[in-house]
Structure 1
Amino acid sequence: MASTPMDIDDAAAIPSLNIMRTLGVNVPSTTAVSDVISSFRPTKLFQRDDLKEGKPKPYVLSIDFDDPGELCMTSESDETIQIYNVKDGRHDKSLLSKKYGVKLAKFTHASSSIIYASTQQNDAIRYLATHDNSFIRYFEGHEAAVTNLALHPGADNFISCSVDNTVLIWNIGTKQWTGKLFLNTPYLSAWDPSGNVFAIASPSSGSILLYDYRNYGKAPFSVFDVLKARGRADPEAAFKGWTKLEFSNDGKHLLLGSRGDGHFLLDSFDGSLKAYLKKPGASTRRVAAGETEGGNVESSGECCFAPDGRYVLSGAKSDLLVWDTLMAPGSDKVLEPVHVLEDKRETAVVAYNPRYNMFATADQDLMFWLPDPNL
């Protein structure tokens, strides 16, 4: 099989990834995702060169891109934040959070500031300026580990979920939460593209609750029963092991990732099962949101939508899986992957660039994927 030569990140070498061939010159690529989705290949592997000899390699806990798609950020299990320049294909800076730990790091709508959850000392969410690694604000209110952070698509307001059975709504300009919901295992959250609706996933109840952002103090306006909607799909995955909740950019679908043998693609209006995205192989070793069994490493989710809303990507024990949501599933609603992108590494975290045709995956090393121009 033809493939794009892979670059290995080396501090002593000049970055060689010609990512501009895909990203264009100062403008987003206009190539449709459907034209390139089958040609993605692992193209640039970043390996940490700042680790002391004999020290175990950390795990990547989350991946996020800034709004312009020019920066990629990871939070890692050695209490560091790593930032990469996408266009140049190089490591940009490393930030330390040794005192508080770090997970679920997300860019705000200003690329120079981020929010992230703590892993030690307390359960505060921290607001950090990346240019000088200084804290702007602490968001205190949770009494147990934070399981998810979801940033509003149009404003610097965000939602946090926790194993303390609360959901907090924040305005980034003030340290006090502006709203609080008491729910049973509200471990995942997501905003719809308009920012007018948010969803909360509760695995123990097997349900997803939809709220009107302007009236979130009232009861949810809709409750999706995943266990009922699943049809013949994996019953275990319908009420435990949930890893990701995400709306498609067209607002039509809701993706519920699971550690079971597939993910759920739901209609975002009525909660019906559009397709059960069947994994042909084993899932990753990461624990699901809110789970701690076996002391395994957390993750911000191993699946995501492509920006066009048509394709779903998912990591696995090996290879990267791609489903086409426009394909009709079988009578049992099971949909098989349309592409299997070869990579023998485990893929435990996946994020698609919001502006350019590239995405990133990780387990212990970060990988950039680009379309192979020769295919």
Structure 2
Amino acid sequence: MVTTIYDPTFERHFKGHKDGVTALCFHPNTIQLVSSSLDKTLLVWHLTKSERAYRFIAHKDSILDVCYAPSGEIIASASKDRSVRIWVPKVTGQSIDFKAHSSAVRSVQFSPDGEKLLTASDDKNIKLWMVCQSRFLMSFGGHTNWVRCAKFSPDGRLLVSCSDDKTIKVWDIISGQCIKTFNEITGPAAYVEFHPSSAVVGSANVDACIKLYDLRTGSLYQHYAAHKGSVNMIKFHPKGNFILTASSDSTVKVLDLLEGRPIYTLKGHAGNVTSITFSEDGDFFASGGTDRQVLIWKSNFCKDKPSKIPRQLISSSSKQEFDNMDEKLFANNDKGKDDVREEHDQEELLQTLEELDLESNGNHCKGSIAKIPRKKIEPEVIDTKNIKSLERHHIANVLIPQDQTLAYVHSSSQFIKAVEALCDQVQSLHDTVNILEQRLTVLEEANRK
């Protein structure tokens, strides 16, 4: 297979966990990568210098999620032991913890400004905390089953959550109210995330598909049946034109949201791929799985091609329209909002961590671990842009209001037939567009001569 400078490439391989990897997060400056695992530990890998990884131990049960603060100075982890722990990622492994929920905590994320922390749990609740002093702010209740994931919007004004009750909910942080609910028909979402524009929400579904919902219309925007196993996680590229997917079929895929199709399939894991993440600039991404491995890849596909005109998934006018609608929504809420500023910032939290009697003895931090052996593996990148698969991969830009969907979908089999019919129509249109683009290229070359 001929490769190009725009194809993703495998960079590094890490192995140190004793059980499956559950979550990954790059340092904001891409100098470190933190991974969490079912083995109850965190590993902080150094990417820019030849230092051994740090292993942090303090949780009493599996760690299910981990993330860096926007400043990169602290890390938050969520565990099955019902606690959230705040770490200073240094060799001593200092940390403080607090009981966040009455059941396993599955998701944790810092707000864009780094002042708040969002958690989601099997106790069916989503909670918002102040990072400093670990102070509880408010709870978001409405799900009727385990909440798998909860995320901030890039502007920090909305939340999105998914649950085993087969719903995806969008919340207004100021009022604490649910403003939109999307109902999944065949299977629940395992992971949700906002598009960088804040106008679209993406979901990874256990029924092997990826869905994008348009918050402006409240309808399905794109649908991809790109995997053969459940999709465990998705991540939008920071520029918003690509999405990364991780699946139990042992593959990672790159989807082009502008063309509405998968463009790369990445192989390298020996089991389920459970976690993925992009670096803040989008130049690198990482994947982790049940095989205990962490693989680092270079994106390349996000490089600007000189012959192509820049395009966007959400046009500037559409985004402005969404922002205007969003401002109206928040205008009413802002009237009753007290302008309260938290006096303690993250620097004071770090100072507090230093002053408190923190758990940093040998039982909680093993310091540096043995240098990772360079086991020879052969990750594979498959370019699928020019492969006409027999599988129907996607529906692009299909706007189907949910009330209409529920009206005509009486069973999963009927829904699948409708999806397949739409796939055929879209594939036909896609082929036509390709032919027109080729003719246009020929004409342009003729005019230049």
Name the TM tier (shorter chain).
0.5 to 0.7
**Greater alpha carbon shift after TM alignment, 143-152 vs 96-105:** 96-105
Q: Does the 8 A contact of 2:250 with 2:272 survive in 1?
A: yes
Distance 1:175 1:248 in 2: 28
TM-score, length of structure 1 as denominator length: 0.62
Aligned partner (choices 285, 288, 296) of residue 322 of structure 1: 296
Match of 2:286 in 1: 313
Tell me if the contact between 1:104 and 1:148 (Cα under 8 Å) persists in the aligned partners. Answer: yes
Distance in 1 (CA, whole Å) between partners of 2:157 and 2:90 is 25
* Cα 1:90/1:365, change in 2 over 3 Å: closer
The 8 Å contact of residues 126 and 150 in structure 2, kept in 1 or not, is answered as no
Aligned to 1:252: 241
The Cα shift of 1:88 comes to: 7.9
Equivalent residue letter for 2:183: F
Decide whether the 8 Å contact of 2:67 with 2:77 is kept in 1.
yes
Q: What does 1:65-76 correspond to in 2, within 5 Å?
A: 65-76=68-79
Q: Which amino acid aligns with 1:325?
A: S
Where 1:160 maps in the other structure, the secondary structure is: strand
Match of 1:261 in 2: 250
| Distance in 2 between residues matched to 1:267 and 1:240, nearest whole Å | 20
Following the alignment from structure 1 to structure 2, what is the Cα–Cα distance between the partners of residues 135 and 199?
28
State the distance in 1 between where 2:264 and 2:365 align.
31
| 1:29-68 CA distance string (max 9 Å, x none) | 598x9xx9586754221122xx7xxxxx421110012222
1:110 Cα deviation from its structure 2 partner: 4.2
Per the alignment, residue 172 of structure 2 pairs with 171
Tell me, yes or no, if structure 1 residue 194 matches structure 2 residue 197: yes
Partner of 2:265: 276
1:73-88 matches, within 5 Å, as: 73-86=76-89
For residues 304 and 85 of structure 1, what CA distance do their matches in structure 2 show? 21
In terms of fraction of residues, the more helix-rich structure is: 2
The answer to whether 1:150 aligns with 2:123 is no
Select which of 55, 62, 87 maps to 1:45: 55
Relative to structure 1, is the Cα distance of residues 282 and 129 closer, same or farther in structure 2, using a 3 angstrom cutoff?
same
Q: Name the residue aligned to 1:290.
A: none
Equivalent pair of 1:203/1:239 in contact (CA under 8 Å): no
Determine helix, strand or coil for the equivalent of 1:67.
coil
**Deviation per CA, 1:173-199, whole angstroms, max 9, x where unpaired?**
122211111122341222222222222
Which of 276, 285, 288 aligns to 1:303? It is 276
Q: Which has the larger radius of gyration?
A: 2
For residues 39 and 209 of structure 1, what CA distance do their matches in structure 2 show? 39
- Aligned residue number for residue 327 of structure 2: none
Q: Tell me by how many angstroms 1:367 deviates.
A: 9.2
Question: In the alignment, which residue of structure 2 is the partner of 1:351?
Answer: none
- Written as runs of structure 1 = structure 2, the 5 A alignment for 1:196-275 is 196-204=199-207, 206-213=208-215, 215-217=216-218, 219-226=219-226, 238-275=227-264
Please state how far the C-alpha of 1:368 moved relative to its aligned partner.
9.3
8 Å CA contact 1:108–1:156 kept in 2: the answer is no
- When the two chains are superposed, the root-mean-square deviation of aligned CA atoms in Å is 3.4
For 1:98 and 1:176, locate their aligned partners in 2 and report how far apart those are by CA, in whole Å: 20
1:183 and 2:181 matched: no
Partners of 1:225 and 1:271 within 8 A in 2: no
Q: Secondary structure at the match of 1:132?
A: helix
Matched residue, 1:345: none
How far off its partner does 1:75 sit?
A: 0.6
2:238/2:281 contact within 8 Å kept: yes
* Contact residue 42 and residue 367 of structure 1 kept, 8 A: no
Query: Once the two structures are superposed, what CA deviation does each residue of 1:293-336 show, in whole Å capped at 9, x if it has no partner?
Result: xxxxxxxx522122232322112424421233338xxxxxxxxx
Q: 1:168 offset after TM fit, Å?
A: 0.6
Matched letter for residue 272 of structure 1: R
Could you tell me which residue of structure 2 aligns to residue 15 of structure 1?
Answer: none
The superposition leaves residues 248-274 of structure 1 with CA deviations (integer Å, 9 ceiling, x where unpaired) of 112232011112221111112233122
Q: Give the partner amino acid of 1:127.
A: L
Partner of 2:442: none
TM-score (norm 2): 0.53
C-alpha separation in 2, matches of 1:92 and 1:129: 16
Per-residue deviation, residues 234-259 of structure 1 (Å, max 9, x unmatched): xxxx1433211110112232011112
Task: Spell out, residue by residue over 1:203-250, the C-alpha distance to the aligned partner (whole angstroms, 9 max, x if none).
Answer: 32x43222333x142x22332332xxxxxxxxxxx1433211110112
Shift of 1:87: 6.7
